[in-house]
Amino acid sequence: MSNHSEAPVAPVEAFEPPYYVAVFTSVRTQDQSGYSETAARMEALVKEVPGFLGMDHAETPGGLSITVGYFRDADALTEWRSDAEHREAQKRGRAEWYESYTLHVAKVERSNGFSRA
């Protein structure tokens, strides 16, 4: 959502299932006025949602952006989806910042990870 270059490069850890993921894949418009400020605000806001577990983000050189949000349960995801400030940011995103996007929500039934020591 924001400039993640300051953060260490590592995926969000594997959690004990079940939990939920929201996968937001987008292509943005040329005019990104106000986007980075809003993205930073949304990142700060989602971290306040009880049950938010973390977020991964990646962008391709061609402009495809993928953000995966991890949530402990459906209630946490619903709280984020219905947040008034988030809803306003979504409207602005459709009006100004996105050429296209998809959102996939899934219940995670299996999760594991690896980290080189």
Tokens 């300051």 belong to residue = 6
Q: Which two tokens stand for residue 93?
A: 């995103």
CB 40 within 8 A of CB 1: yes
Sequential pLDDT tens for the chain (117 residues): 444 456 578 899 999 999 999 999 999 999 999 999 999 999 999 999 999 999 999 999 989 999 999 999 999 999 999 999 999 999 999 999 999 999 999 999 999 999 887
The reported pLDDT for the residue numbered 2 is 45
CB 53 within 8 A of CB 70: yes
CB 46 within 8 A of CB 52: yes
The reported pLDDT for the residue numbered 1 is 47
CA distance 3 to 22: 19
pTM given for the model: 0.89
CA distance 5 to 22: 22
The reported pLDDT for the residue numbered 5 is 52
